């Protein structure tokens, strides 16, 4: 049982690392596009990105909906 738990922890850490690295590239692309087209000034873009990060940490309504109403984790077969 300990091997399975270690494997799950490793997979979760690997997924978080991938998401972090992927976010780096996506952030650079969105910054470059919005600034080069002059849709946003650099200062406004940083403000938008900061607020987006704060909102993502504060509101987890979609995750709660999926975990409560759509998927029952105890009914899944292993």
Q: What percent of the chain has pLDDT over 90?
A: 6
**In the chain, what are the domain boundaries?**
22-69
49-64 residue pLDDT tens: 788 778 777 777 766 7
Distance (Å, whole) CA 52 – CA 24: 15
Three-state secondary-structure class, residue 54: helix
pTM, two decimal places: 0.41
Reported confidence tier of residue 10, pLDDT bands at 50, 70, 90: very high
End-to-end CA distance of the chain: give it in Å, rounded.
13
């Amino acid at each position: 049982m300990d091997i399975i738990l270690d494997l799950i922890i490793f997979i979760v850490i690997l997924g978080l690392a991938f998401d972090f690295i992927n976010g780096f590239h996506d952030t650079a692309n969105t910054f470059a596009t919005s600034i080069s087209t002059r849709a946003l000034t650099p200062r406004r873009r940083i403000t938008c990105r900061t607020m987006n990060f704060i909102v993502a940490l504060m509101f987890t309504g979609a995750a709660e909906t999926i975990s409560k109403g759509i998927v029952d984790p105890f009914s899944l077969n292993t």
